[in-house]
A and B are shown apart, each in its own frame.
Chain A
Amino acid sequence: MAQETSMSSAEVASFKQNVIKESKSTKTIRSDFIQFKHLDFLANDVKTSGKMAFKAPNRVKWEYTNPYQYSVVFSEDQLLINDGGTKSKVDIGNSRLFKKLNQLIVNSVKGNMFNDADFEVTFFKSPKYNKAIFIPKDKKIGEYIASFELLFNKDDAQVYEVKMIEPSKDFTQIIFSNRILNSVIDDSVFSN
Chain B
Amino acid sequence: MAAPNRKAKKRGPIQRNIVVPAPSPKRFYGHGLPGVDRNRLTGKLIAVEGADGSGRSTQIARLVHWLEGNGNATVEVGLKRSTLVSEELEKAQEGNILSRTTLSLFYATDFADQLENIILPALKAGFVVLADRYIYTLMARDMVRGMNEAWLKNLYGIALVPDAVFYLSVSPEHLVQRTFAKNFALDYWESGMDLGLSRDMFDSFLRYQALVEEQFKRLQSTYHFDIVDGHRSVDEINKELRGKIELVMAGRG
A and B are partners in one complex rather than unrelated chains: no
> Could you list which residues of chain A lie within 8 angstroms of chain B, going by C-beta atoms?
none
